Amino acid sequence: MESIDIARQMVSMASEKQAEDIVLLDVRELVSYCDYFVLMSGASGRQLSAIADVVEKTLKPLKIGPRHREGDADSGWILLDFGGVIAHIFTPEIRSYYKLDRLWENAPKLVAIQ
């Protein structure tokens, strides 16, 4: 499965779990360590965990697993690194604090779901 397909699958799964402000960024021209970022917000720590879990469980049968998982629901930020795609799952407060959307504003937005 190509990186873009994994990223689009993440967007779909996040949307099904009611994630908010989902953004798929093409960062291939800006960084060398991945192709896409998927940024999203969850209203609570419990929702962050649910989103991260559904992403991992849905991709696992396809033999696609994260290379690295960092953070947890209590921190307000979960990062899932799938190599070509990195998902950032935030609470709105943590997302606002770190401002990754602004940091990567030069990356083309392939998907934006409010």
Round the average pLDDT of the chain to a whole number and report it. 95
Average pLDDT value for residue range 68-73: 93
**The domain containing residue 47 runs over which residues?**
3-113
Q: What is the pLDDT of residues 78-110, one digit of tens each?
A: 999 999 999 999 999 999 999 999 999 999 999
Contacts of 13 (CB under 8 A, 6+ apart): 51, 54, 55, 58
Q: Which residue bears the tokens 């990356």?
A: 107
Residue 1 pLDDT level (bands cut at 50, 70, 90): confident
Contacts of 79 (CB under 8 A, 6+ apart): 68, 69, 70, 71, 86, 87, 88, 89
Model pTM above 0.85: yes
What pLDDT does residue 40 have?
Answer: 97
* Concatenated DSSP letters of 85-106: EEEEEE-HHHHHHH-HHHHTTT
Q: What is the pLDDT of residues 27-70, one digit of tens each?
A: 999 999 999 999 999 999 999 999 999 999 999 999 999 999 99
Q: What is the CATH number of the domain that holds 84?
A: 3.30.460.10
State how many domains the chain has: 1
d(CA 94, CA 73) in angstroms, rounded, equals 11
